[in-house]
Amino acid sequence: MPPATDAVLLDVRHLTRIFGHGAREVRAVDDVSFTLRRGEIASVVGESGSGKSTLARVLLRLIRPTAGRIVFAGQDVTRLSRPGELRAYWRQVQAVFQDPFSSFNQFFPVRRVLERSLRLEGRLEAGERDRRVRWALERVALNPSEVMGKFAHELSGGERQRIMIARALVVRPKLLIADEPTTMVDASSRATILNLLLDLRDEYGMAILFITHDVSLASYVSDTLLVMHQGKVVEQGEAGRVTAHPQHPYTRQLFADAFSLSKGRSVAT
Ligand SMILES: Nc1ncnc2c1ncn2[C@@H]1O[C@H](COP(=O)(O)OP(=O)(O)OP(=O)(O)O)[C@@H](O)[C@H]1O
Ligand SMILES: [Mg+2]
């Protein structure tokens, strides 16, 4: 029997999302197909406006696809619409977004933010809730006793983002979709978050879709890369291969730009 990590978790076929119509039509996601295995980190890279966040929102079923199919763990989730069905899906597929300021409810202490996420699992007894909240905070390198009673304004941006990740982890999802999770945090939180993603893959076999415009971050964390350009996946494959031998002109440009930027940076310092 093949190891469980080889099993396909997410199978995306011809996924399309169009906004507007007529002359103002935007094909934000245009005929995208890929698979993600259990325990795999795939990065979606591409410039601003290439459709990365729209892809994330469609996969999370926060918005409907215009066409195509999403199969998660063998179940077709393309047309889920009843709240109960969506909640069952979100117990397995969780997300972290770029801005930890807007997604953090400022009126709740950290403990309550995480406990609300745990509600997706139905009723849990108080002791179990406490254990799960502490476990998730420890996973993101925070001291539960220190942060559980704090409010958003009492935390740094990097701490807030790690709490957003803990909020996603507390339900132990099979898939984590992280949309530019490190863009608004400082370098030390960025390193903590990236290494955490690798640990989650290695320890729990979590699959991760990591969305970034930064190809060097993508190459650092990913098993596979998906390069998006104007709504389409123009290149996909094993991260080392795509980085060393990009096939599509757009991918070559993306890596060339990243390289000249990093060269510029090293000259400047
Ligand atoms: N709700 C919407 N209504 C209309 N157009 C939209 C909507 N959401 C996104 N778009 C358009 O879809 C395209 C893709 O946007 P998207 O946010 O997915 O890009 P992105 O790759 O995440 O960009 P960034 O790197 O800046 O976050 C853009 O042209 C955007 O203007
Ligand atoms: Mg985006």
* The pLDDT of residue 269: 34
Q: Where are the alpha helices (DSSP H) in 152-238?
A: 157-169, 187-204, 215-221
67 domain-assigned: yes
In 131-213, DSSP assigns E strands to 175-179, 207-212
C-alpha span between 154 and 166 (Å, rounded): 17
Asked if 21 contacts 40 with a C-beta cutoff of 8 angstroms, the reply is no
Domain range spanning residue 17?
Answer: 1-81+213-269
User: Which tokens in the block code for residue 130?
Assistant: 């406490």
Tokens 């999770």 correspond to: 181
Looking at the domain assignment, is residue 198 inside a domain? no
In a domain, 30, yes or no: yes
Instruction: Please return the burial class of 58, using the count of CB atoms within 10 Å of its CB with bins 0-12, 13-18 and 19+.
Output: buried
For residue 207, give the amino acid letter. A
CB 37 within 8 A of CB 6: yes
From the CA of 232, the nearest ligand is: 1
Domain assignment present for 190? no
Domain assignment of residue 171, yes or no: no
pLDDT in tens, the chain (269 residues): 544 546 999 999 999 999 999 999 999 999 999 999 999 999 999 999 999 999 999 999 999 999 999 999 999 999 999 999 999 999 999 999 988 777 788 899 999 999 999 999 988 999 999 999 999 999 999 999 999 999 999 999 899 999 999 999 999 999 999 999 998 888 888 999 999 999 999 999 999 999 999 998 999 999 999 999 999 999 999 999 999 999 999 999 988 887 776 655 544 33
Place of tokens 């941006």: 157
Amino acid letter for position 226: L
The ligand 1 atom at the shortest distance from the C-alpha of residue 231 is 14
- The ligand minimizing its distance to the Cα of 44 is 1
Tell me whether residue 230 is in a domain.
yes
Using CA atoms, how far apart are residues 39 and 255, in angstroms rounded to an integer?
26
How remote is the CA of residue 172 from the centroid of ligand 1, in Å?
29
Tell me, using a 6 A CB cutoff, whether residue 28 lines ligand 1.
yes
Q: What is the pLDDT of residue 262?
A: 62
Q: CB of 250 within 8 A of CB of 227?
A: yes
CATH code of residue 27: 3.40.50.300
Note whether residue 110 is domain-resident.
no
Q: Whose CA is nearest to atom 5 of ligand 1?
A: 19
pLDDT of amino acid 15: 98
Question: Residue 109 is which amino acid?
Answer: P
The pLDDT of residue 266 is 46
Parallel/antiparallel/unpaired status of strands 232-238 and 224-229: antiparallel
For the chain, how are helix, strand and coil distributed in percent, rounded to 5? 45, 25, 30
Ligand 1 atom closest to 47 (CA): 25
Instruction: For residue 103, give every residue at least 6 positions away whose Cβ sits within 8 Å of its Cβ, in sequence order, or none.
Output: 97, 164
CA distance 194 to 259: 20
Position 17, amino acid:
R
C-alpha of residue 127 to centroid of ligand 2, in Å: 38
- The answer to whether residue 12 is domain-embedded is yes
Could you give the number of structural domains in the chain?
1
Q: How far apart are CA 148 and CA 262, in angstroms?
A: 39
**Upper half-sphere CA count for residue 168 (Cβ side, 13 Å):** 27
